[in-house]
Chains A and B, each alone.
Chain A
Amino acid sequence: MQREAAIREPLILGNKTYKDITDDVVGPNEGPAPMGWKIMITIAALIAVYGVGSILYLLGTGIGVWGLNKTVGWSWDITNFVWWVGIGHAGTLISAVLLLFRQKWRMAINRSAEAMTIFAVIMAAIFPGIHMGRIWVSYWVLPLPNQFGSLWVNFNSPLLWDVFAISTYFSVSLVFWYIGLIPDFATIRDRMKKPLAKKIYGILSFGWSGRAKHWTRFEEVSLVLAGIATPLVFSVHSIVSMDFATSVIPGWHTTIFPPYFVSGAVFSGFAMVQTLLLIMRKGMKLENYIHVKHVEYMNIVIIVTGSIVGVAYLTELFISWYSGVEYESYAFINRFSGPYSWSYWIMMTCNVISPQLFWFKKIRRSLIATFILSIVVNIGMWFERYVIIVTSIHRDYNPSSWGEFHPTSVDIGIFIGTLGIFFTLFLGFARFFPVLALNELKTILKSSGENYKKSHESH
């Protein structure tokens, strides 16, 4: 049997057995919906409906209803896209990269982090879709034979790379997530008393029976998918950053963008995981499985990636001066002292200064401080994209065409609406899906469960 060092904190607290893990995780799926859940999903769904209404109004009227103008032709749409894609990076990082590094603490959080990833990527995909204006011709982004020549899509363009990257990322994450879910759906199927629910979980579980050969294949598939999803995580946000970096706009045309965006994405993704899980563990009474140690591990990732982001901000600033290119240099002076300096300083405070508080062990292990800081980081990361996008283009080469961007109610409605859709989906997931990876947690119970660790010590 595998043992681990006694000084490592146990990952599963309390005197748990295999049966307890099933009961604790699946129990909330079986009982009636709690009042708090009903209230939350109602609010989220109302906001979602408002968002869908805003989107329909946009599609019916045209993207002129956004606050875009001749100078600032890209703003909240692409900001929201990058923000959501960034959030969508933590899930696959947790399940794939941490699997390759054999980090057992990932098992308590990977399921919900992957769900978050999938929902966040769906939210992200909305923005380039509706930004086309004529969403009904969005299939033109695919290289399909057509009546125009054939005129093909441009494979030299990072925007097209993005189409491939995002769709690959979404579908591979979905498959990775679902393959892990199949055995857990089987667990619910075999426990469920209600006939209709039993039938549905039966279909969802694909007839999984837990045969030894199937488990061998399961582990192989998980490992190989993790192996190929790891470079995928890095490639997707690198490609998103190339949407900017391959252009010639000062402030965008930067070679450090790919690593800077990837660490920013992991940073914001982990912050969102913290926000969601701190509520979920409380609401679903999973404190024994997702506890202070898990939160601390995630906060350590936040310090590391937040510091990389901070270094990237300062590097950009230094290089813009050191390069001697006056356009480049002006773009950055304008960033911190121009009309959008307020957003620059929000970004700096939220992303560079606030995560440094996690160096203090007390703060790093405090759930309330973590919750507040996770929201601060998410706000900061939204402003990071806003700063990069809007401040770089609102003053172009020709001062007569300088302008500013002011969001309209449709801009705001769509952004808030995607938050509503996201939370509706996530709450639906928390209610009907096994929110922790049951089959994986059971494999670490004997090496990392509190009761087992204590009994090992006494021997």
Chain B
Amino acid sequence: MGKVFHVMYDDDDTLKEAASQLVSKGVHIREVYSPFPIHGIDPIIGIKRTRLAIAAFMYATTGTTLALLGMWYFMIHDWPMNIGGKPSFSLIENLPAFIPVTFEFSVLCGAHGMAITYLLRNGTLPGMPATNPDPRTTDNMFVMEIAAEGQPLAADALEAAIQQTALVELSVKETH
């Protein structure tokens, strides 16, 4: 049981200012919906840096390992062939010819691994329902979502604080 405020602004900088004002009063902002990335909003509302890049690096190194392991198995271990006198008995000596595929496969695994992780972590997958509170937030409006519960201010004081910012619209929802 509690109130959820959806505060709408018509400008990204206005929203950022409003967010700073509220945060300085100890208000926790649950979510911000915007039509494009608002640079500088993350530290204000307490969003940590994503670790996707680390994941991508790990996927890419997996790709590197798999490619080298595969080529060692196909070309050196399982069925060595003499092709133009290239060394077919040692991975290290045959390595220059294996660099292009190793690189491509690393990129393949890194890029796709990262993209899939990104979609899964976001919960954005084909056919998922949209959850933005107002359809205008993908066009030109910016919405801040604040839950009344767990705030240092009482619901009425919180609403008064929100009203002091340069908002365009405020909608209050009761959740059960």
Contact = CB atoms under 8 A, between A and B. Distances in A.
A171 B101 contact: no
Q: Which of B53, B71, B104 has the most CB of A within 10 A?
A: B104
B100 A235 contact: yes
Nearest to A225: B111
Interface string B47-81: 10110110010001000000000110011001101
A4 interface: no
A155 B74 contact: yes
Interface in B99-122: 100-101, 103-105, 107-108, 110-112, 114-115, 118-119, 121-122
Q: Which interface class (under 10, 10 to 19, 20 to 34, 35 or more) fits B?
A: 35 or more
Contacts of B38: 212, 215
A211 B38 CA distance: 10
A161 B111 contact: no
Contact of B104 (A156, A165, A189, A220): A165
Nearest to A192: B135
Contacts of A207: 123-125, 127-131
A191 B138 CA distance: 9
A227 B75 CA distance: 31
Contacts of B52: 217, 220-221, 224
Interface string B84-100: 10100000001001101
Given A143-B70, A175-B111, A217 B121 contact: yes
A171 B97 contact: no
Nearest to A218: B37
Contact of A216 (B42, B56, B128): B42
Interface in A10-44: 17-19, 22
B112 A164 contact: no
Contacts of B151: none
B169 interface: no
A22 B140 contact: yes
A439 B35 contact: yes
B123 A220 contact: no
Contacts of A143: 70, 74
Contacts of B97: 155-156
Contact of A228 (B33, B107, B131): B107
A213 B138 contact: no
A1 B107 contact: no
A366 interface: no
Q: Which of B56, B125, B130 has the most CB of A within 10 A?
A: B130
Given A143-B74, A171-B112, A206-B124, A440 B36 contact: yes
A229 B110 CA distance: 10
A161 B118 contact: no
Q: Which of A157, A182, A207, A239 has the most CB of B within 10 A?
A: A207
B37 A439 contact: yes
Contact of B94 (A151, A156, A187): A156
A212 B52 CA distance: 15
B153 interface: no
A443 B119 contact: no
B162 interface: no
Interface in A183-207: 183, 186-187, 189-191, 202-207
A202 B132 CA distance: 13
B68 to A, nearest CB: 11
A400 interface: no
B45 interface: yes
A160 B74 CA distance: 13
A438 B126 CA distance: 21
A152 B71 CA distance: 10
A48 B11 CA distance: 46
Nearest to A175: B115
Nearest to B56: A224
Q: Which of B42, B70, B136, B138 has the most CB of A within 10 A?
A: B138
Interface string A149-177: 11111111110110011011001100110
B39 interface: yes
Interface in B127-172: 127-132, 135-140
A450 B16 CA distance: 23
Contacts of B128: 206-207
A150 B78 contact: yes
B108 A191 contact: no
* Nearest 5 pairs of A and B residues by beta carbon: A207-B128, A190-B135, A18-B140, A215-B37, A152-B74
